Chain A
Amino acid sequence: MNTALFYALIGAGLIGMGLQSLVLTPNIMRKIIALNIMGNGVFLILVSTSKRLLGMAHPEPDPVPQAMVLTGVVVAVSATALALALLRRYYEATGNLVLPEDSPEWGIEEMPPAMASYLENVDDDDEH
């Protein structure tokens, strides 16, 4: 097993762990951490690919994947910051650290006041 493969395997392991946690844990904070672990796994695999050319005619490591990892890290940091800011807003608004169940109508279940007036209007119309 060469070094590149070793890194790639560790990266794959991190992705697996992150994905499992992302899907299975309900806590949003832990989901955000899980995404970061997944991201690190992907970056590790990317870095390992820059060793591709070693031992061939060009002994220098390939700079392109490293540039990609740098960009990826910047994206991951911004995304994490945004997720944390949103989570704080969500927590302040609901006191919850867990996403609601898979109901798209969540939070708007109550019938709006307009519905009540609608029902009254219907009765009026029927009388005429």
Chain B
Amino acid sequence: MSTEQLPVLLVLAPLMAGFAAYLLPARFIKVLVTAAFVSVVIVLVPLYEYLTIAGPLRTSLGGWGVPLGIDLYMDGTGFVMLSMTTVLLAAICIYSHSYFGNGPRATRFWPMLLLTWASLNNLFITGDIFNMYVTLELLGLLSVGLIALAGTPAAYAASLRYLLAALCGSLFYLLGVAMVYANSGNLDWVELRLYLEGGPSAAIALGLITAGLMLKAAVFPLHFWLPPAHANAPAPVSALLSALMIKASFYIAMRMWLWVFPGSINTDLAAPFLGVLGAAAIIYGSVQALRQRRLKLLIAYSTVAQLGYLFVFFALSVEPGSATPALQAVVMFAISHAFAKAALFMCSGAIIHAYGHDWIDSLHGCAERLPAVTFAFAIAGVSIMGLPPSGGFIGKYMLILTAAEQGKWFWAAVLALGGILAAAYVFRVLNIALCTGKSVAVGQSVPAGLIWPAWALAVVAMLLGLLASGPLEIVAIGAPELDLFRTMPVDSP
């Protein structure tokens, strides 16, 4: 098997393991999950070598090729997202093993987790925008099932609300894809910029796609479904949703705004609009997080706020020559947020396990009773606040730097303000947790499996800041050169 065909295994391994987990008795699940991880890691290593030597990699499924068939396409950004998914899911799997044990929920959880993994991998390597729609729908349906695993009426309500919002969002996306196809007769996002004709139909297509993705990514003011869904899901599922599912929609939006549409339509006015929504999300989400009384809701609103940074990125990426640095910054920010946020949700799960609830005001002395959990929470919090040397700091610093280089001081100020607000809500929790005078007895001791994955992810988020150059260089492989697009003569199909 040549290297070009290896990406297929990234989808196939977790997919097959997922189906096998449905069919085989529960005792095989450990073997299946391990086998899936081993095969994905074995595939990622030669792909990394190929990327660094030969650049982006394209696979024609079934030998059909564009425009009839679906091509897989992997560049640096896709590879970083894939690696992030693998590391995060490894930690989530260890955590879930302790969290669900061998109960009846475990047999339903593992197949869904493996299928979610297959869908995420597929999304990050597909070259086809309709294929992206299918993976978006799969991710949406699987998330709904995972949230409903909590089994409480509140979780059913949250998952129904999420399902309705997600379906509506994907229909808008699909309509946008239909308009792109009607415009260009092509669905491959790498080549689309050569075929797409400018004009109102391209602009409307981008509008529909962006609106749908914003609903699915819960960007302010379309965030209404996110806090209940993420707060009512079981802890490992909350970690998965906040860390990865949101990034899936953002990833597609990034491909659309940086790779597909810049050659055909002028986004100089639309991109700052997205940035304004992002800025509003940062302020609104942070203020809401400060007001919450439950820890999981605080973390969920923090996700709403952090998503704002991802959308401020669009406002910074339109200047000629700024696409690649802005892309590096935002990918760095997105992966650090994923690790740190997953760690925070894992800590909240451990706290709920110990205390039986997550009311912030009654967590006095948490640092005394659960020192390891509180420490992991604090380290992950450092990355969320964006303090050095964390990965969150590098991402935020690079975003502010990009804004400053373009003289866009408004965005730099908003980004900095978001950091202060994040510090406020993280310290609000730590303040109560570290207050030892009136500590509350812990009902149940926390098993090590609920602590160490959170620790590991928090440390990874921190290390990302120290080892940032590696991922940043990979992201640059296959990154778009917007000014190149604009001056390049566009071939008519």
Which residues of A line the B interface, CB within 8 A? 15, 19, 22, 28, 31-32, 35, 38-39, 42, 45-46, 49, 52, 62, 64-65, 68, 71-72, 75, 78-79, 82-83, 86-87, 89-90, 93-94, 99-100, 102, 104-108, 111-115, 117-118, 121-122, 125-126
Contact = CB atoms under 8 A, between A and B. Distances in A.
User: Which of A46, A64, A118 has the most CB atoms of chain B within a 10 A radius of its CB?
Assistant: A118
Given A83-B164, A86-B156, A94-B153, A45 B171 contact: no
B438 A83 contact: no
Interface residues of B, number: 52
B157 A114 contact: no
Interface of B: 67-68, 130, 133-134, 137, 140-141, 144-145, 148, 152-154, 156-157, 159-161, 163-164, 167-168, 171, 174-175, 177-178, 181-182, 185, 187, 224, 227-228, 231, 293-294, 297, 300, 355-357, 359, 362, 364, 437-441, 443
A83 B166 CA distance: 11
A39 B134 CA distance: 14
A42 B181 contact: no
Nearest to A118: B362
Contact of A115 (B224, B357, B438, B443): B357
12 contacts: A22-B164, A35-B168, A42-B175, A49-B181, A49-B182, A83-B160, A87-B160, A104-B227, A106-B228, A108-B294, A114-B357, A121-B440
Given A64-B68, A72-B174, A112 B161 contact: no
B153 A22 contact: no
Given A45-B178, A107-B152, A114-B356, A19 B293 contact: no
A62 B362 CA distance: 63
Contacts of B67: 64
Contacts of B228: 104, 106
B157 A100 contact: yes
Contacts of A52: 182, 185
User: Which of B161, B171, B231 has the most CB atoms of chain A within a 10 A radius of its CB?
Assistant: B171
B182 A93 contact: no
A38 B165 CA distance: 13
A93 B154 CA distance: 10
A62 B186 CA distance: 12
Contacts of A82: 141, 144-145, 163
Given A45-B178, A104-B228, A107-B157, A79 B167 contact: yes
Contacts of B130: 68, 71
Contacts of B438: 121-122, 125-126
Given A79-B167, A83-B164, A114 B355 contact: yes
B156 A19 contact: no
A115 B362 contact: yes
B175 A45 contact: yes
A22 B161 CA distance: 11
A65 B171 contact: no
B443 A89 contact: no
Given A79-B163, A99-B160, A99-B161, 6 more contacts: A22-B168, A78-B141, A79-B137, A114-B440, A114-B443, A118-B362
Contacts of A49: 178, 181-182
B160 A28 contact: yes
B164 A107 contact: no
A111 B175 CA distance: 45
A105 B293 contact: yes
Nearest to A75: B137
A108 B232 CA distance: 10
Contacts of B293: 105
Contacts of A86: 144, 148, 156, 159-160, 163
Contact of A90 (B160, B359, B443): B160
A35 B171 contact: yes
Cβ-closest 4 pairs across A and B? A107-B154, A112-B357, A90-B156, A49-B182
Nearest to A83: B163
B362 to A, nearest CB: 4
A93 B178 CA distance: 39
A6 to B, nearest CB: 15
A57 B125 CA distance: 34
Nearest to A91: B156
Given A86-B159, A118-B362, A35 B167 contact: yes
Contacts of A89: 148, 156
A122 to B, nearest CB: 5
Contacts of B355: 114
Contacts of A79: 137, 140-141, 163, 167
A112 B359 contact: yes
Contact of A107 (B144, B153, B185): B153
Nearest to B231: A104
A118 B440 contact: yes
